[in-house]
Structure 1
């Protein structure tokens, strides 16, 4: 199979979209398929042995945003893919889907960024409806839209999209593992984070407005805790002011083994943002054996079973957020039981399983497009 991936985010930018695209490319390489990538400027020349073609980009809040380019049509025509995979399509992805349709190439679009949620959070009023209209216009061009959560499925159906299927995200079950807590490097990190044996409340993700990390202020004055924040982004200066005086360790952006050690050093994981279409870091926390506290909104609803592997607090209710964290802080046995349940909940979500399901979606749209071609080729008299 020849797969063209067009993505709004790619290395060196670290994001959920980037991680997903990288894992898909690695799986395609392992399983003997061919691929190429179209990504915003700044990307490496290749990944997993496949060529990466960079197109012009503008910067927005530290992210490169791929701009429509005449290169896209030519690159697709030269590669002649069997299927186009559009990762979180926006401007660049929309152009890729349109080009694929002109070339009679089936496409799969992955819904991964809550564009309309951004407009709503920033009180843009009618712009929220405009954002949803744009999302609908982009995804209607694809043969199939893959959706990560039940909340996103509901949103997309509400705006009239119908060619939808569920596709989850994988998690590294080896790199993120409860056994890492016994590593000497993790022990040393815990001594740094909690020198007096405090409970470490951890977070991993971008420090950006949509993540709502400022809501960690609800834990101010809670005895026996330390906060450990992994990530960087445009909100860090404001967050340092907002959380001033609280016991916070800023760990910066981490990846690979360093990130795995950070998860292993936490006692529980807190996510406060209400706009997650999925919640990859919640999965990683569960894989590491941590209980998760997150809002009852968006992707976390599918990942956190309230009272079993964590708690879902009422969105925008800081008192409920604090109460959920407090229950875990005060009860080591509950943390352990919920952490074990979290680990069990992700055991079937290896990237190999998830990417195998993706190949099935590719084959579906390829077969459906072939059937349409065959029908068109049959003389009208024979179709009666």
Structure 2
């Protein structure tokens, strides 16, 4: 038998052929490495991963900023880029027709133009944030008074995705809240899985540095809080603390400042850097989930992060780290509290690792995702058979 997506209809003795359509960039790549490493161990599914190609010339043109309008966030740059991405993804899905039993798409932006595919067979759409949330958290531009006014246009493309998917998964309660309140997705179709990372069973031996070490990871600096951290370091900490910036941006060298421009997601050098880190500082106001924070917690490093998006669900205030309000004073006080009390930093680091193992371990979260895939298949089959 075949289902309407062209795939075979398996019984429970046959593995569910699952196509993972992925926006494999940044933290998304970290998440998918965890899924890919663990889903291969699950005999209930056979997974194939289809990554949307990196942005080429056509997509760059389609997503180019429009001078004048961009400053006011009126050029629809993000939406144009998402539609261009979805156009490429839809072509890949059409080429893959008949090769899978269920589709898992991450995120909704990859299937804005593929609602027919979502409706044709069992499908799960997962996300880290709703479109309305993403619009205010773009790392390369600030939201304006016009940003929210474009919500009806964004919904015109995004709402059909949510309505067409068999089931919907978010990685946080923060994102789930928006999908329930802003898009009307009922709890009968909405699942929350905090898709985690591969937490190492053993850590490299901790290295006691000559001076305390603060580490920051972020492709860009300004909206991820790296520039704020850098400015504070230069004015206040340079004579007693080393700051390591893992970023793609060019930074002028200075006393106690170490810049790593050549790290990539999953870089083998990261565990060594975290093993000598005293405090992991992540004052970002644009990250929807925070895989850099999870990697630090998994390495037993105390975290200072901004109270933004889903980060407060990951970092337990006063237990696994400290949360700031975004001000310099709050960031300084939180970092210095841990620098001045190594015992507290150690205890928070250990608590963070325990939390990463119990809640954000990709082995556990991938198993939960497989359960949702199987559920979606049953839900779709029951709907077709009714």
TM-score where L is the length of structure 1: 0.78
Give the match for residue 154 of structure 1.
177
Deviation (angstroms), 1:56: 9.4
- Unpaired segments of 5 or more residues in structure 1? 44-54, 376-384
RMSD: 2.8
- SS of 2:200's partner is coil
Match of 2:143 among 114, 123, 134: 123
- SS of 2:382's partner is helix
Give the match for residue 383 of structure 2.
372
1:26 paired with 2:50, answer no
Superposed, 1:235-274 pairs within 5 Å as 236-237=249-250, 240=251, 245=254, 247-252=256-261, 253-254=263-264, 255-274=266-285
| Bigger RCO (CA 8 Å, 6+ sep) | 2
Superposed, 1:25-44 pairs within 5 Å as 25-32=36-43, 33-41=45-53
Give the match for residue 334 of structure 2.
324
CA distance 1:265–1:7, change in 2 (3 Å): same
1:58 paired with 2:86, answer no
Query: Structure 1 stretches (4+) deviating beyond 6 angstroms?
Result: none
1:344 paired with 2:354, answer yes
Give the match for residue 46 of structure 1.
none
Cα deviation digits, residues 17-37 of structure 1 (max 9, x gap): 122223323333332432333
Partner Cα distance (1:246, 1:109) in 2: 47
Give the match for residue 354 of structure 1.
365
Deviation (angstroms), 1:57: 6.5
Partner Cα distance (1:247, 1:6) in 2: 42
CA distance 1:4–1:350, change in 2 (3 Å): same
Match of 1:109 among 120, 125, 144: 125
Partner Cα distance (2:192, 2:39) in 1: 20
Superposed, 1:49-88 pairs within 5 Å as 58-59=59-60, 66-69=85-88, 71-79=91-99, 81-88=100-107
Is the Cα contact below 8 Å between 1:6 and 1:96 reproduced in 2?
no
- SS of 1:294's partner is strand
- Unpaired segments of 5 or more residues in structure 2? 1-15, 65-80
CA distance 1:256–1:355, change in 2 (3 Å): same
Give the match for residue 381 of structure 1.
none
TM-score where L is the length of structure 2: 0.77
